[in-house]
């Protein structure tokens, strides 16, 4: 029996999802895209899960890209469908009501970088490499790479990465705003899990409100964004967590948030 394409493990309120195709450098084929979509839907619906960490198995790759062997025989219609399959999954991750952290432990190229970019936060090993090399295959990014890279790194960097197709190291990726932190490879898991646990102890409804505001604000004008933020701010006053957080502050103790 073959190994599953995904591994999942819960560490308290943190769910770790691992793409498990190390012999293919965790390349994304249709089955893996579908498995990821199902795994994230399950994590979103599980009240015991407050944060998700996404990573790749093996020492070399987070996700090295889409599965070129599978793509090679696709027709134009099948190619479009494959793109939309990945795009739907990654858009679901991007709009998750719970924080998702990409733990980038190696190559994140093509579809792998696109997968990392749809996560809310990215922590990279100092040995990681990222890039959009699709131009070298006669292709363009197909899972949102041009759009998310543009929003994270700006027009000039996006054009360079997509047109030249050359990978960059983690330090350069952090300079461009593509990753949030770069840490020594030996400390990647510990530092990622420390951040995940910090977020898991935060107020879940406030986390969701922040994610919603940033998702909405990133796609609308400033006035609409401010109005949406004010509405979400007001909603927090209906939560037990807001009363617990403010009371704990006044009583000089650590709050205990219940997500209510």
Supply the DSSP string of 54-98, one letter for each residue: EEESSSSEEE--B-HHHHTT--HHHHHHHHHHHHHHHHHHHT-SS
Task: Give whole-number Cα distances, 172 to 9, 101, 124, 158, 210, in Å.
Answer: 31, 19, 11, 13, 27
Nearest to 53 by CA among 215, 188, 202, 146: 188
Contact present, 52 and 96 (Cβ < 8 Å)? yes
Active-site residue flag, 134: yes
42, 78, 94, 114: the active-site residue? 114
Helix (H/G/I), strand (E/B), else coil: 52: strand
Nearest to 49 by CA among 62, 40, 58: 40
β-partners of residue 102 are 54, 122
β-partners of residue 104 are 124
Active-site residue flag, 197: no
What's the CA gap between 31 and 58, in Å, rounded?
19
Contact present, 118 and 91 (Cβ < 8 Å)? yes
42, 70, 94, 134: the active-site residue? 134
β-partners of residue 53 are 16, 101
Give me the active site residues, please.
114, 134
């Amino acid at each position: 029996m073959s190994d599953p394409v995904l591994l999942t493990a819960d560490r308290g309120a943190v769910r770790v999802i691992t793409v498990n195709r190390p012999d293919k450098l965790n390349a994304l084929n249709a089955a893996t895209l579908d498995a990821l979509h199902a795994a994230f839907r399950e994590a979103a619906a599980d009240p015991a899960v407050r944060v998700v960490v996404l990573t790749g198995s093996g020492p070399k790759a987070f996700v090295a890209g889409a599965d070129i062997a599978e793509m090679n025989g696709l027709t134009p219609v099948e190619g479009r469908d494959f793109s939309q399959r990945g795009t739907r999954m990654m858009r679901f991750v991007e709009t998750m009501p719970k924080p998702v952290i990409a733990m980038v432990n190696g190559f994140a190229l093509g579809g792998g970088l696109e997968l990392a970019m749809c996560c809310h936060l990215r922590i990279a090993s100092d040995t990681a490499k990222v890039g959009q090399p699709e131009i070298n295959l006669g292709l363009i990014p197909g899972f949102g790479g041009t759009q998310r890279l543009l929003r994270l790194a700006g027009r000039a960097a996006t054009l360079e990465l997509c047109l030249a197709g050359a990978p960059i190291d983690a330090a350069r990726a952090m300079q461009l705003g593509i990753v949030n932190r770069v840490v020594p490879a030996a400390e990647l898991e510990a530092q990622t899990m420390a951040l995940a646990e910090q977020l898991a102890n935060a107020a879940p409804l406030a986390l969701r409100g922040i994610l919603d505001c940033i998702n909405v604000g990133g796609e609308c004008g400033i006035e609409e964004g401010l109005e949406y933020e004010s509405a979400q701010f007001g909603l927090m006053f209906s939560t037990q967590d807001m009363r617990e957080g403010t009371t704990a502050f006044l009583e000089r103790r650590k709050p205990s948030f219940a997500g209510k």
